[in-house]
Amino acid sequence: MFRFKVLKFFSISLTLILSACGNMKPNVIEVASYPEVDQLLTNQISLLDGNDLNKEVWLDGKTESKQLQMDSAGWNDELSFLKEINPNQTEYVGAFEESETGNSLVLKLQEGEKGSLTYFSRTSDDALLSITATIHEDKDVYIHHKEVEVNLVNGKIIDYQIIGYQKILLKDTIRFRIKGSIVN
């Protein structure tokens, strides 16, 4: 009789525990979906293949301008800065404060979060898309800061600008600006 009661108690307890486990939801971390800058880079390389580039570089007061003939390899190198402004990286999961108003999306790196991409903005209006980003790295031996602006019309980059500075320990600050505009 005692064994029957123990067995009955054990059976009921096991049934309750197992039924409770069936109602539990697995822990799932939702990953925010930010703009796909890697895909943008891939698309631009094929869209711009064969287009020329007017490029102006300003470095500490000296300016140089050139028109360059570009192929897909050239565009891949030229637009590699887009990889730096990609918010869809594992290090940024949950790191941004996101705000959206009308046709603008703004991502700001939250206080205490680590990462060089501190600001990202995407504004779209009909055929025009504008992306701005700030990259800031403050390491022991150097500080590197860039502000990037890219403008697209009908999905194709028409111009971009990168303004920034680099300060290396025991050396002067180097300021630079790079402007590029696509020639059809």
| Of 111, 95, 100, residue with least CA distance to 31 | 95
Percent of the chain with pLDDT over 90: 67
Q: For residue 30, is pLDDT > 60?
A: no
| 132 falls within a domain | yes
User: What pLDDT score was predicted for residue 57?
Assistant: 98
| 10 falls within a domain | no
* pTM (two decimals): 0.79
| 83 falls within a domain | yes
Q: For residue 28, is pLDDT > 70?
A: no
Note down the domain range covering 135.
36-183
Per-residue pLDDT of 96-154, as tens digits, reads 999 998 899 999 999 999 899 999 999 998 888 999 999 999 998 999 999 999 999 99
- If one counts every other C-beta atom within 10 angstroms of the C-beta of residue 44, the result is 22
| 89 falls within a domain | yes
167 vs 2 pLDDT, higher one = 167
User: What pLDDT score was predicted for residue 90?
Assistant: 86
Q: What does the pLDDT average to over 87-95?
A: 89
Q: What does the pLDDT average to over 5-19?
A: 60
CA distance linking residue 20 with residue 138, whole number of Å: 50
CA distance linking residue 62 with residue 65, whole number of Å: 10
| 99 falls within a domain | yes
Q: What does the pLDDT average to over 170-183?
A: 95
| 166 falls within a domain | yes
| 20 falls within a domain | no
User: What pLDDT score was predicted for residue 1?
Assistant: 58
CA distance linking residue 40 with residue 6, whole number of Å: 66
Q: How many domains does the chain have?
A: 1
From residue 63, give the alpha-carbon distance in Å to each of 14, 59, 174.
78, 7, 14
Q: For residue 24, is pLDDT > 90?
A: no
- For tokens 């404060």, what's the residue? 97
Q: For residue 52, is pLDDT > 60?
A: yes
| 175 falls within a domain | yes
User: What pLDDT score was predicted for residue 142?
Assistant: 94
